[in-house]
Structure 1
Amino acid sequence: MGTLGSRQLLLCCALWGLCLASDYDDYSQNSTSEQVSTPEVTPCPRAIPGDQATVNNVTYLLIPEVTRAQLGSAVTVRLIPCLYSLAFLLGLPANALALWVLATRAERLASTVFLMNLATADLLLVSVLPFKISYYFLGNHWPFGEGLCRLTTALFYGNMYCSVLLLTCISVDRYLAVAHPFSSRAFRTPGLAAGTCAAVWLCAAALTLPLTLQQQSYPLLGAGLTLCHDVLPRHEDDGFYFYYFVALISCAFLLPLLLLALSSGAVLRVLLRGGGRYCHAAKLTALVLVSLVVFYAPSNVLLLLHYSSPCSRLHGRLYLSYMVSLALSTFNSCADPFIYYYVSEDFREKVRRRVFKGSKKTTTSLKTSKETLPRSKHSLV
């Protein structure tokens, strides 16, 4: 009897041990599954990332309340549209008048072709600003449809980077005119300049083509707003957009900035050798480089920081700073006419004659650029 009791006790202990082992295995499996199912940090698209929700076959976006409050803040609905409005009021008449005078009164030189294309790019950039102004004044609401949202986004970025590329072409052309005035005459022709400008326009269009191939406007769930480009849904291939914007900034900003800095430095070196009479032209040459860095560097740096950082609550604030810097970058289109055109006394005189018809001498053609820059101390053109 004692032996039977001992055997029963051992059997009970064995069964209890098996139960403990089974419970431990279940706990281990559950712990492992919980670790595997932990959501990974996903990369963010260029805009603020939002989650999708489908209601009655309509795709809506969901964003945190903090982010929504930032998009509806005074910075977004007041400061940014006011900045765009000021850029529009300054840039539209300045570039339109400059293009009109260049097209009707300027001598057809290689530099004139570059300047006309620059004025056109700046004019197209400011011409899309009324849509962005109304969008922000309406509290981040886009009432113009998906097609116009894509077109406005592509034209905005395309013409902005096209201006950067054209500024680089102008700087290189001036380097050739100053450092190699005689040997460069053979290929500094209006025809070759026109071909270069055509290549720049095609390059800018190709670089911004992906913006026209993806949906840009989404309604915001429960807000009665349709956002354009500011909030985009997360995608499985978000890594593509990171590499796309790295390539865009590298090809359309960093590389042109490097070429512009090298060519401007070479021009400054030649001008400073000429003494004090070229001091004014040297200052304007330096101003071109400084304005490009001041207006465009902040937005491009913030764009890379925004996209390369892990998703966090800081992204809304970082993107808000990016939108402000992007609005400030449009003022470069307002500064270009005064740096390149209106600084010239000859150009201002032609503008007065063209606008006020105050002189009978309207048959004299305007030379916006001499064959060698040092011949004029009052103008960079």
Structure 2
Amino acid sequence: MGTVAADNSSLNCSVDHSIHQMLAPAVYVTVLVVGLPANCLSLYFGYLQIRARNELGVYLCNLTVADLVYICSLPFWLQYVLQHDNWSYSDLSCQVCGILLYENIYISVGFLCCISIDRYLAVAHPFRFHQFRTLKAAVGISVAIWAKELLASVYFLLHREVVEDDHRHRVCFDHYPLEPWQRGINYYRFLVGFLFPLCLLLAAYRGILRAVHRSHGTQQSRKDQIQRLVLSTVVIFLVCFLPYHALLLVRSIWESSCRFAKGIINTYHFSLLLTSFNCVADPVLYCFVSETTHRDMARLRAACRALLTCSRTGGPREAYPLGTPEASGVKSEEPELLRKLHSTSQTPNSPGGGGSPTAGLA
């Protein structure tokens, strides 16, 4: 069990998938159990950011929607691996689930990059580039990212993605060795989908760290918080996406024989499973780290406790208007951490202390 025969000209390559069938169920169940509620909360808090006229909320919501759409496809992949890599649905459903699996990587990368650049502009250039830090601009950029990835996914619909192995199992989205059409799209995915955004992300966060170090009015604890967020984001980005894209490039350049495919396939499948943990990491990094989110979560917990108490006692329920920006603790379009940093870069002659620069960014 667990082998696939690739219908690739005269080659008949049987590859062992046993390690994939052992690891994938555990990974998919973990992402479902942890990622689904975490992303639902992330979507709620991103909505609160949008209500507060914060463009970061647009990127957060789009990032969360991309994760949730991928999570919805995991039951199909879970059934697939539990049936020893036998796709029991239609060929079109295989293509759609494969597109959701792979394109979620690049949609996530795109919005992570947008969040990085937005935070760099907010910290390093709080009084410039205002036109790029509005809700309208964020919506336009989000539409462009989705359109780009959906158009790229059409390429996969033009090719057959279901083949039969030597056990007559219908294998979905696996070709060994790679077919010629796959090499070109893999180079595009590596260069445009991963390497270019990674360079932008590293450049943006280098600028953030330099701006933090130059700020003498910010408390050391707040500087440390920014630096931990920067480091955590880069580390998770590299852990989730770098191994997969490195092996994708290696396969595209050197995989021309069945022997090579057999030697790399287990490592390749492990790196692909790592990308799924991005759905768990995203809400932790970009939703639960801000002080406004901590206050929202505290109010949400208080509301839940009040509802449970009232349901047991039968008493009246206290209203918690969590849907309003005032009740959620979101008082401006910037997280409090960045507002504190903005105030340090205000010129000495600026009126109103540290309040007016933040208000001017809305």
CA distance in 2, matches of 1:341, 1:371: 11
Q: Report whether the alignment pairs 1:103 with 2:47.
A: yes
The match for 1:323 is 269
Q: What amino acid maps onto 1:249 in structure 2?
A: F
SS at match of 1:63: strand
1:241 alignment counterpart: 182
Q: What is the 5 A alignment of 1:41-190?
A: 50-51=6-7, 62-64=12-14, 67=15, 70-71=16-17, 73=18, 75-103=19-47, 106-190=51-135
Shift of 1:62: 4.7
Equivalent residue, structure 1, for 2:312:
none
AA paired with 2:195? L
The alpha-carbon deviation at position 179 of structure 1 amounts to 1.1
Structure 1 portions without partners, runs of 5+: 1-47, 54-60
Q: Residue 123 of structure 1 aligns to a residue in which SS?
A: helix
Q: Say which is worse superposed, 295-304 or 276-285, in terms of deviation.
A: 276-285
**2:199 maps to what in 1?**
258
Structure 1 CA distance for aligned equivalents of residues 132 and 39 of structure 2: 28
In 2, Cα distance between equivalents of 1:356 and 1:125: 31
CA contact (8 A) 1:278 1:374 kept: no
Rounded Cα–Cα distance in structure 1 between residues aligned with 2:29 and 2:335: 38
The size of the alignment, in residue pairs, is 314
- Check conservation: 1:216, 1:232, Cα contact below 8 A: no
- Tell me how far 1:374 sits from its aligned partner: 3.2
Q: Deviation at 1:360?
A: 4.2
1:249 and 1:300 in contact (8 A); partners too: yes
Contact 1:171 1:260 in 2 (8 A): yes
| CA separation of 1:180 and 1:163: change in aligned 2, threshold 3 A | same
Letter in 1 for 2:213: L
Secondary structure (helix, strand or coil) at the match of 1:141 reads coil
- 1:128 partner SS: helix
Cα separation, 1, equivalents of 2:251 and 2:339: 46
1:219–1:188 CA distance, 2 compared to 1 (3 A): same
Q: Are 1:218 and 2:182 an aligned pair?
A: no
- TM-score, normalization: structure 1? 0.76
The answer to whether residue 235 in structure 2 is matched with residue 279 in structure 1 is no
Q: Check conservation: 2:5, 2:165, Cα contact below 8 A.
A: no
Is the 8 Å Cα contact of residues 31 and 71 (structure 2) preserved in structure 1?
yes
Structure 2 CA distance, aligned partners of 1:369 and 1:78?
A: 46
> Residue 313 of structure 1 aligns to a residue in which SS?
helix
Paired amino acid for 2:40: A
Structure 1 residues 153 and 174 mapped into 2: Cα distance closer, same or farther (>3 Å)? Answer: same
Q: 1:356 to 1:231 in 2, by over 3 A?
A: farther
Q: Could you say what secondary structure the match of 2:163 adopts? A: strand
Asked if the contact 1:121/1:159 (under 8 Å) is kept, the reply is yes
Give 1:258 shift: 0.3
Letter in 1 for 2:224: C
Structure 2: distance between partners of 1:356 and 1:99? 19
Q: Tell me which residue corresponds to 1:374.
A: 338
String of CA shifts for 1:86-141, please: whole Å, max 9, x gaps: 12211111011210232257413211111111111111122211111111111111
Give me the whole-angstrom Cα distance separating, in 2, the residues matched to 1:345 and 1:104.
13
SS of residue in 1 equivalent to 2:7:
strand
Whether the aligned pair in 2 keeps the contact of 1:125 and 1:160 (CA below 8 Å) is no
The one-letter amino acid of 2:194's match is F
1:349 aligns with 2:295: yes
Cα root mean square deviation, aligned: 2.6
Q: State which drifts further: 169-178 or 94-103.
A: 94-103
TM-score w.r.t. the length of structure 2 is 0.79
Measure, in 2, the Cα distance between the counterparts of 1:343 and 1:372.
Answer: 11
Change (3 A) 1:263 1:52: closer
Structure with greater Cα Rg: 1
Q: In structure 2, do the counterparts of structure 1 residues 293 and 369 end up closer, same or farther at CA, with 3 Å as the change threshold?
A: farther
Name the CA distance, whole Å, in 2 between partners of 1:246 and 1:92.
Answer: 32
Structure-2 change in CA distance of 1:376 and 1:316 (3 Å): farther
- Do 2:13 and 2:176's aligned partners in 1 also have CA atoms closer than 8 Å? no
Q: 1:178–1:373: 8 Å Cα contact kept in structure 2? A: no
Identity %: 30
Consecutive unaligned residues in structure 2, runs of 5 or more:
307-317, 342-362
Task: Report the CA distance shift for 1:294/1:219 in structure 2 as closer, same or farther (over 3 A).
Answer: same
Answer yes or no: is the 8 Å Cα contact 1:146–1:217 preserved in 2: yes
